[in-house]
Amino acid sequence: MEKIQELQEIFLKEGLRYTKQRETIWQEINSSTEHRDAEDIYFTLKTRGVATSRATVYRTIEVLVRNNLVRALNIGDGRYRYENKLDQTHHDHLVCTECGKIIEFLNENVEQQQEQVARDHGFTLVRHIHQLFGVCEECQKN
């Protein structure tokens, strides 16, 4: 994967060393399109025989998020989920309160209105959190 070049450059730029652990954590997060928590990533690595400590998982994710290689998602249940940003454009989330399913959406209209709201209040917009909670089609049947 040529993206590893970019990863190495990020660490270089930050004055950090390029280690096996850091690369492995990045690969694990990029191995799926799911929204996984740190504990899940930690245990999966352990199972796959390339264990790193919890501390290193958290520390590495911090760097990846800071450099926009990974996105952190807070759905209000007390733990962050992380998702890969390879080929991913910006989107927000629709969360099923019954089964936990997460669906991604993008609404240009909303994106524009957000800029407008910020402008109206003299704010320079940096980021936003927009999450819709409801019951998905399947869960409605139960």
Task: Catalog residues that contact its own copies under the rule CB under 8 A.
Answer: 74, 76, 94, 96-97, 103, 105, 107, 109-110, 113-114, 116-118, 120-137, 140
H helix or E strand, kind and range, residue 105: strand 102-105
Q: Tell me which residue has tokens 């929204």.
A: 35
Cα–Cα distance between 49 and 43 in angstroms, integer? 10
Site pattern 47..86 for DNA (x: CB under 7 A): ----xxxxxx-xxx-x---------------xxx------
Cα–Cα distance between 59 and 134 in angstroms, integer? 33
CA distances to 43, 114, 141 from 132, rounded to whole Å, are 29, 16, 20
Span interacting with Zn ion, options 24-32, 43-51, 75-83, 93-101, rule CB under 5 A: 93-101
13 binds DNA (CB under 7 A): no
**Considering CB distances under 5 to 8 angstroms, the limit depending on partner class, which of Mn ion, Zn ion, its own copies, none binds residue 137?**
its own copies
The least CB distance from residue 110 to DNA, in Å, is 26
**String of DSSP letters for 87-102:** TPPP-EEEEETTT--E
Using an 8 Å Cβ cutoff, are 104 and 97 in contact? Answer: no
**19 versus 31: smaller Cβ distance to Mn ion:** 31
**16 versus 132: smaller Cβ distance to its own copies:** 132
**Considering CB distances under 5 to 8 angstroms, the limit depending on partner class, which of Mn ion, its own copies, DNA, none binds residue 135?**
its own copies
